[in-house]
Amino acid sequence: MGTSENPMAASTPDPGPASVADTDPLATAMFGAGCFWGVELTFRRVEGVLDATVGYSGGHTENPTYPHVCSGQTGHAEVVQLRYDPSRVSYERLLEVFFDSHDPTTLDRQGPDVGEQYRSVIFYYGSEQEAAARAAKQRLEDTGRWKRPIVTQIEPAGPFYRAEEYHQRYLEKQGRASCPSRGR
């Protein structure tokens, strides 16, 4: 049974921007900030973000499914992979949205959701994104906005596994304007 026939099956990994033609004016970004439903909705509202796809990354299991990820045995984070137009929105602005959309001081937790799949993580594509992510994290630390240290991980992007179809645009399909656990 293929992934189109089984709603619980995750798809094969998306290799990310390495597979995109060099002439593509769009860029890719990937963030984990807790439950991916609310994160997806937050980024879809950003001018210049053309697509937001929920999925899994940062783990050690190929083709994980939601139940596998929730078991805590795969090492994956729930993430949102973005395709955006850098002429309309900067990566630095996406980092601001990321840090403003969750509590980056809680390890493996966002609100009522607990587990490593809910960790705060930035998966970067290239040295420019890495430098921007590290600088944004340091700027936020320097502001003193948070009393606890920022625990956001910054890691190179690896395989992205698109989540099951029922997770894509989940809140939109449910007619919700925000994630109930975040109040956003």
CATH of the domain at 134: 3.30.1060.10
Cα 16 from Cα 29, distance rounded (Å): 9
Which pLDDT score, from 0 to 100, does residue 5 have? 39
pLDDT by residue for the chain (184 residues), tens digit each? 333 334 444 555 555 554 444 678 999 999 999 999 899 999 999 999 999 999 999 999 999 999 999 999 999 999 999 999 999 999 999 999 999 999 999 999 988 889 999 999 999 999 999 999 999 999 999 999 999 999 999 999 999 999 998 899 877 887 776 666 544 3
Instruction: Classify residue 19: in a domain, yes or no.
Output: no
Instruction: Classify residue 174: in a domain, yes or no.
Output: no
Which pLDDT score, from 0 to 100, does residue 59 have? 96
pTM (predicted TM-score): 0.85
Instruction: Classify residue 13: in a domain, yes or no.
Output: no
Instruction: Classify residue 7: in a domain, yes or no.
Output: no
Query: Encoding tokens for residue 34?
Result: 């807790």
**Best CA proximity match to 36, nearest among 50, 55, 9:** 55
Query: Encoding tokens for residue 25?
Result: 């004016």
Cα 38 from Cα 178, distance rounded (Å): 6
Residues with catalytic annotation? 35
Which pLDDT score, from 0 to 100, does residue 184 have? 37
**Best CA proximity match to 172, nearest among 67, 43, 48:** 43
Which pLDDT score, from 0 to 100, does residue 24 have? 82
Domain enclosing residue 53, as ranges: 24-167
Q: Which residue has the tokens 């190929």?
A: 62
Q: Please give the tally of structural domains in the chain.
A: 1
Instruction: Classify residue 10: in a domain, yes or no.
Output: no
